[in-house]
Structure 1
Amino acid sequence: MHRIGYFLTEGFQVMALGTQSVFEFANVVAKEQVYQVTNYSLTGGVITSSIGASVNTLKATSEAQADTWMVSGIVDPLARDSTAEELNFVKTAAGRAQRVGGMCTGAFVLAEAGLLEGKRVTTHWAYAGVLKQRFPNTLVEPDSIFINDGSIWTSAGLSAAMDLVLGMVEKDLGHEIANRVARVLVMYHRRSGGQSQHSEMLNIAPKSDRVQAALEHARANLSGDLSADALAKIVHLSERQFRRVFLSETGLSPAKAVEQLRLETARNMIQRGHHSLEIIARETGFRDRRHLREVFIRKLGVSPQSLRRDAREAPTGE
């Protein structure tokens, strides 16, 4: 039996408890108790959530054992820092566990405990920039629903933590069980880690007509030459001027913006499922299907085939 420990602090986000339903119904679908879920806190006893609902917990001592630890954050991770005692427990417990999940802003707790150094992680989009700034050695990827890097799992908002836990179930019990659990829970479909929290390109708001024109040209010509030099010529600037202005107005290099645009467009085409991966790769500016896969794995942590499979599997009820 796989032991799941939920580490909660005062003011925890109540939706974190909802993810326990995924483990519960994994037991139902598997027709055996695969998972045992226990709530812990430093003090033990009753812990109150951010909305005022309370839950009873066991005391988190050095003897508390779990194969997976799930760590919930609070609504505003900037409102309070974790205590030394909390961080010590999380760090020690993680060292003994098979994996650790940081749900939503729980990623801040894991980072403060020193568990995210050099790791690919995500968190709620509203705090992704702060997480990256505070912990520069952490590889924050705001454009993901959840990320699994080794023994560390992190999710975006808490609804995305449902997808993270389903990902854990899939890793433990296989795709078929995870998909059946998603149907039982009446989730539209099980979102893979490679899906976006929102369109990152919507955040690019250039001030000048020239940079806007360059972006519009890029969107309309994804399969063409979108080098900084080529885009600079479109808007009648030197390459050096263009790079400087583009970075100043968007916060991105031209190459990074083009990569995001190509990746986002390819992902949307894959999820719609109307074209082959070879055609999608060609139309969005990737060299070939292999290059498309390499970039997806590197940037999103998931293959194009997995995204397409999950998009096709909408639940029909059981």
Structure 2
Amino acid sequence: MTRRPHHVVVLVLDGALPLDVGIPAEVFHPETGFPYEVAICGVDAGTVPAHGGFGYAVPRGLEALAGADTIIVAGYAPAGRDVPAKVHEALRSAASRGARIASICYGAFALADAGLLDGLRATTHWDAAEQLAERYPQITVEPNVLFVDEGSILTSAGAAAGIDLCLHIVRRDLGLSAANAIARGLVTAPYRSGGQAQYLPTNSSVPHGDTLAATREWIMTRLDQQLTIDGIAVHAQMSPRTFMRRFAEETGTTPLQWILRARVDAARELLESTRLSVDQIAEQVGLGSGSNLRLHFRRIVDVSPSEYRATFSGGAVGMWPEAPVTLTGHT
């Protein structure tokens, strides 16, 4: 039996940032073939002035939030600008009935104003993180990450980090294969961990960029093999010390932690798409034994491999569960 689509509503406030509105509209569009429907709303129906000198025609006002399963507050400029009190009331009401609420970029300020981030970790664009922390000391602001998942409340950094947040939501809901399929349609990387560093201004002479992309692709084709820092550094044509420093600058994590997460993601795909045993999967992804896979899988994804397979294998993708499944691991 086909389940009803999961209803996503993007809240567009005055000064909305175009990319922040467009990202969830694309990721959750029904044409992806996955069970989402997406709509936009404003404080009131009409035209919402956007950042950049144009506007959005929104067909509905805040009443649209009452029927949303997921609400995404798009970023708006300038950071921290006042929003109407009825926005805070509508967000609190949605949270109290169990809706999932997320923000992109400066949209975190609207969640903070509503009190939804009190006692939680959160992030926003790096250039407003200090402002968010100073204004709301009850929030633990994480300035150097792409997104933060606190279960029913999620926040992301600026601009393109909204893609990472939305794809993370799809992974939670429908599994890795669905998120990868949507990422391919968007021609974007299917996965950057929430802990990956935002770009930050630096006085370092080492240039930021993606100079190790080819090496990461090389690693991905060899997950079943023994990988060492020295061997990977040879491929990158760097000394091991330079390689480790550069890798951390580009990904926000160590090479070994990145490889571990890549292996767990590969295991997720095999759990979704095959009937291989956990031991067989562990061998294919380079984790050696089923017990080793179970240990790292539960630590990263927060469920066991068997629980993950039961949720996402076979007919799970493309069919909405009776209630959205929440995997709260830091993926």
In which range does the TM-score fall when normalised by the shorter chain?
0.5 to 0.7
1:59 aligns with 2:45: no
1:77 aligns with: 79
| Secondary structure at 1:144 match in 2 | coil
For the 8 Å contact 1:70–1:101, the answer to whether it is kept is yes
Shift of 1:272: 7.0
| Secondary structure at 1:86 match in 2 | helix
Shift of 1:89: 1.8
Stretch of structure 1 that moved more, 148-157 or 43-52? 43-52
Give the whole-Å Cα distance in 1 for the aligned partners of 2:200 and 2:55: 36
Shift of 1:11: 1.3
Give the whole-Å Cα distance in 2 for the aligned partners of 1:97 and 1:45: 28
Size of the aligned set, in residue pairs, is 222
For the 8 Å contact 2:21–2:74, the answer to whether it is kept is no
Q: What is the 5 A alignment of 1:165-184?
A: 165-184=166-185
1:16 aligns with 2:17: no
1:104–1:63 distance in 2 versus 1, CA, 3 Å: closer
Structure 1 residues 180-200: Cα deviation after superposition (integer angstroms, max 9, x where no partner): 211121113421212110369
1:90 aligns with 2:98: no
The letter for the 2-side match of 1:60 is: L
Structure 1 residues 25-55: Cα deviation after superposition (integer angstroms, max 9, x where no partner): xx445x35x1111111122112121113322
| Secondary structure at 1:154 match in 2 | strand
2:282 aligns with: none
| Secondary structure at 1:64 match in 2 | helix
For the 8 Å contact 1:91–1:115, the answer to whether it is kept is yes
Give the whole-Å Cα distance in 2 for the aligned partners of 1:49 and 1:16: 11
1:16–1:2 distance in 2 versus 1, CA, 3 Å: same
For the 8 Å contact 2:48–2:56, the answer to whether it is kept is yes
The letter for the 2-side match of 1:164 is: L
Shift of 1:264: 4.8
TM-score w.r.t. length of structure 1:
0.62
Give the whole-Å Cα distance in 1 for the aligned partners of 2:120 and 2:111: 11
Structure 1 residues 29-87: Cα deviation after superposition (integer angstroms, max 9, x where no partner): 5x35x111111112211212111332222121287310001112312224x22221221
1:191–1:38 distance in 2 versus 1, CA, 3 Å: same
Structure 1 residues 205-254: Cα deviation after superposition (integer angstroms, max 9, x where no partner): xxxxxxxxxxxxxxxxxxxxxxxxxxxxxxxxxxxxxxxxxxxxxxxxxx
2:111 aligns with: 110
Q: Once superposed, which parts of structure 1, at least 4 consecutive aligned residues long, lie more than 4 Å away?
A: 263-266, 271-274
For the 8 Å contact 1:73–1:109, the answer to whether it is kept is no
The letter for the 1-side match of 2:133 is: K
| Secondary structure at 2:66 match in 1 | coil
Give the whole-Å Cα distance in 2 for the aligned partners of 1:13 and 1:52: 11
Shift of 1:270: 3.5
Unaligned runs of at least 5 residues, structure 2: 205-244, 264-291, 303-331
1:272–1:146 distance in 2 versus 1, CA, 3 Å: closer
For the 8 Å contact 1:14–1:53, the answer to whether it is kept is no
For the 8 Å contact 1:69–1:97, the answer to whether it is kept is no
Identity within the alignment, % = 35
For the 8 Å contact 1:77–1:105, the answer to whether it is kept is yes
Structure 1 residues 131-179: Cα deviation after superposition (integer angstroms, max 9, x where no partner): 1111111111111101110211100002101110001111111001101
| Secondary structure at 1:100 match in 2 | strand
1:5 aligns with 2:9: yes
The letter for the 2-side match of 1:176 is: S
Higher radius of gyration, 1 or 2: 1
Unaligned runs of at least 5 residues, structure 1: 205-260, 278-288, 304-318
Give the whole-Å Cα distance in 1 for the aligned partners of 2:156 and 2:301: 15
2:279 aligns with: none
Q: What is the 5 A alignment of 1:159-238?
A: 159-198=160-199, 202=202
For the 8 Å contact 2:72–2:102, the answer to whether it is kept is yes
For the 8 Å contact 1:192–1:302, the answer to whether it is kept is no
Counterpart pick for 1:68 among 67, 70, 89 = 70
Counterpart pick for 1:267 among 246, 249, 253 = 253
Structure 1 residues 265-313: Cα deviation after superposition (integer angstroms, max 9, x where no partner): 7814247759x99xxxxxxxxxxx9xxx8xxx8xxx889xxxxxxxxxx
TM-score w.r.t. length of structure 2:
0.59
